């Protein structure tokens, strides 16, 4: 039986005509996925701070950047042993009890048998923003800061730039933020790794 749902103000997300939106917790969201509630939706559905958000289907540029960056990170880290950092892509990242985004690329540890990656085990999240930059800035950037993710990259293929956010604050802001438009970038968790912009945008 589904737990009781709390009515919320109408907002973006998965909406049925005549039915108000609700605040969902993680268990409710997981159950909806299991019963195929989102199977007829174009693009994936994510739980963002209690609200169901339907994401636009990714285009070719979006997918190519994800593939190239994930490959470069995996190449740099090597094959992970149990409990070591590994590179994930478009898998569920559980943040507390009310958020379950699917980052385009992320680096995290996952214990054997653990069903989902957890925010507290994550060292880097990467979002590729082709047409969703404003939404990512307003919705996901503060969510990842509140979750304590050490580092967030928002990649804009159209401008060939990477917006780097570090020093997450509990209030949803970042203590350090800058944009890389040339050269290379090294993630906080592994300063020895140098990811060039050519690595990220090689397919564009």
Domain co-membership, 25 together with 115? no
Residue whose tokens read 């609200």: 51
Q: What is the pLDDT of residue 42?
A: 82
The residue whose two tokens read 């140098």 is 194
| Residue 86, beta-bridge partner list | 108
User: Does one domain contain both 128 and 78?
Assistant: yes
Q: Which two tokens stand for residue 151?
A: 């580092």
Q: What contacts 64, CB < 8 A, 6 or more positions away?
A: 203, 204
The CATH code of the domain that includes 166 is 3.90.1570.10
Write out the residue range of the structural domain in which residue 108 sits.
Answer: 60-200
Residues 45 and 17 in one domain: yes
* pTM recorded for the entire structure: 0.85
> Is 1 inside a domain boundary?
no
Task: Give the full edge-to-edge strand order of the sheet including 151-156.
Answer: 86-88, 105-108, 122-128, 151-156, 161-168, 174-180
Q: Give Cα separations from 80 to 70, 73, 127, 165 (angstroms).
A: 14, 12, 23, 26
100 and 29 Cβ atoms separated by less than 8 Å: yes
Total domain count, the chain: 2
DSSP, res 81: P
Longest CA span, the chain: 54
Residues 35 and 83 reside in one and the same domain: no
Q: Which pLDDT score is estimated for 22?
A: 62
> Which 3 state secondary structure label does DSSP give 172?
coil
- Residue 85 CA to residue 145 CA, distance in Å, equals 20
Q: Specify whether 21 is located in the same domain as 121.
A: no
64 with 31, same domain: the answer is: no
Q: What does the pLDDT read at residue 19?
A: 44
> What integer pLDDT is reported at residue 21 of this predicted model?
54
Q: pLDDT tens track of the chain, all 204 residues? A: 333 333 333 334 444 444 445 689 999 999 999 999 998 888 889 999 999 988 888 889 999 999 999 999 999 998 888 789 999 998 999 999 999 999 999 999 998 889 999 999 999 999 998 876 677 677 899 999 999 999 999 999 999 999 999 999 999 999 999 999 999 999 999 999 999 999 999 988
* pLDDT tens-digit map of 128-163: 988 766 776 778 999 999 999 999 999 999 999 999
Same domain? 18 vs 39: yes
Q: What angle do CA 152, 66, 123 make, to 5 degrees?
A: 30
- Whether 78 and 37 map to the same domain: the answer is no
């Amino acid at each position: 039986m589904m737990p009781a749902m709390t009515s919320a103000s109408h907002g973006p997300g998965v909406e049925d005509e005549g039915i108000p939106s609700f605040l969902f917790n993680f268990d409710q969201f997981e159950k909806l996925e299991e019963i195929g509630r989102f199977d007829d939706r174009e693009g994936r559905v994510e739980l963002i701070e209690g609200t169901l958000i339907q994401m636009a289907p990714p285009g070719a540029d979006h997918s190519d950047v994800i593939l190239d960056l994930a490959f470069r990170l995996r190449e740099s880290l090597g094959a992970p042993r149990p409990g070591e950092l590994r590179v994930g892509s478009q898998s569920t990242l559980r943040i507390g009890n009310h958020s379950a985004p699917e980052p385009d690329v992320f680096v995290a540890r996952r214990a054997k048998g653990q069903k989902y990656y957890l925010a507290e085990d994550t060292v880097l999240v990467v979002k590729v923003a082709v047409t969703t930059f404003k939404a990512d800035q307003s919705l996901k950037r503060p969510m990842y800061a509140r979750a304590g993710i050490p580092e967030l990259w928002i990649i804009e293929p159209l401008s060939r730039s990477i917006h780097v956010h570090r020093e997450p604050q509990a209030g949803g802001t970042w203590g350090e933020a800058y944009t890389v438009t040339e050269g290379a970038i090294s993630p906080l968790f592994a300063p020895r790794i140098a990811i060039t912009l050519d690595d990220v945008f090689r397919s564009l």
